[in-house]
Amino acid sequence: MSRFDAIELEVLWQSLIATVNEQAKALQRAAFSPIVREAGDLANAVFDRTGRMVAQAVTGTPGHINSLARAASAILEQYPTDTLSPGDVLITNDPYKTAGQLLDVTVLSPVFRNGRVIAFFGSTIHHTDVGGYGIGAGARDVFEEGLWIPICRLMVGRNGRSERNDDVWRFILSNVRQPDHMAGDLHAQMASGEVGAQRLAALCDQHGLDDLQDLADEIIERSEAATRASIRDLPAGTYRSSAVLDLADGSTIDIVCAVTVDPDAGEILVDYTGSSGASPSGINVVRNYTHAYTTFTVRSVLNPDLPNNHGSLAPIRVEAPQGSIVNAVSPQPCTARHVVGMFLPNALLKALAQIRPDQAMAEGSGAVWTMQVSGTHDDGRPFITAMFTYAGGVGARATKPGLSACSYPTGVSAVPIEVVEASAPIHFLRKQLRPGSGGAGAQIGGLGQTIEFTVDTERPWQLNAVTSRLSDAPQGIFGGQPGAPGAFTVNDAPVRTQARVTLQPGDVVRLDLPGGGGYGAPVEPTQEVSA
Structure confidence by residue, pLDDT tens digits, 369-385 = 999 999 998 888 888 88
Is there a single domain that holds both residue 207 and residue 59?
A: yes
Measure the CA–CA gap between 416 and 420, rounded to whole angstroms.
Answer: 7
pLDDT of residue 531: 41
Identify the three-state secondary structure at position 332.
Answer: coil
Contact indicator for 452, 429 with CB cutoff of 8 Å: yes
Measure the CA–CA gap between 397 and 518, rounded to whole angstroms.
Answer: 8
Between helices 287-302 and 344-353, what is the axis angle to 10°?
40
Domain termination residue (choose one: 175, 208, 223): 223
Written as one string, the DSSP assignment of 362-379 is -----SPEEEEEEEE-TT
For 57, 60, 368, 389, the CA distances from 409, given in Å and listed in that order, are 17, 11, 9, 14
Total of domains in the chain: 2
Establish if 457 belongs to a structural domain: yes
CA neighbor of 408 nearest in space, from 371, 364, 439? 364
Establish if 472 belongs to a structural domain: yes
For 50, 167, 302, 430, the CA distances from 13, given in Å and listed in that order, are 19, 40, 22, 45
Domain that holds residue 197: 6-223
Establish if 334 belongs to a structural domain: no
How far from the centroid of its chain's Cα atoms is residue 25's Cα?
18
Establish if 312 belongs to a structural domain: no
Establish if 341 belongs to a structural domain: no
Identify the three-state secondary structure at position 224.
Answer: helix
Contact indicator for 477, 350 with CB cutoff of 8 Å: yes
What does DSSP assign to residue 488? Answer: E
Written as one string, the DSSP assignment of 249-272 is TS-EEEEEEEEEEETTTTEEEEE-
Domain termination residue (choose one: 177, 207, 223): 223
Measure the CA–CA gap between 289 and 4, rounded to whole angstroms.
Answer: 35
CA neighbor of 51 nearest in space, from 266, 310, 301? 310
Establish if 231 belongs to a structural domain: no
Contact indicator for 297, 344 with CB cutoff of 8 Å: yes
Contact indicator for 414, 390 with CB cutoff of 8 Å: yes
Measure the CA–CA gap between 99 and 322, rounded to whole angstroms.
Answer: 17
Domain termination residue (choose one: 202, 223, 244): 223
Measure the CA–CA gap between 274 and 246, rounded to whole angstroms.
Answer: 17
Name the residue type at position 148: W
Measure the CA–CA gap between 393 and 406, rounded to whole angstroms.
Answer: 6
Burial 393-407 (b: 16+ CB within 10 A, else e): bbbbbbeebbbbbbb
Q: In the chain, which stretches have pLDDT less than 50?
A: 1, 529-531
pLDDT of residue 378: 87
For 116, 207, 355, 414, 438, the CA distances from 112, given in Å and listed in that order, are 5, 17, 46, 37, 53
What is the model's pTM?
A: 0.95
Establish if 161 belongs to a structural domain: yes
Establish if 26 belongs to a structural domain: yes
Q: What is the pLDDT of residues 150-209, one digit of tens each?
A: 999 999 999 889 999 999 999 999 999 989 999 999 999 999 999 999 999 999 999 999
Measure the CA–CA gap between 98 and 386, rounded to whole angstroms.
Answer: 21
Length of the chain equals 531
pLDDT of residue 498: 87
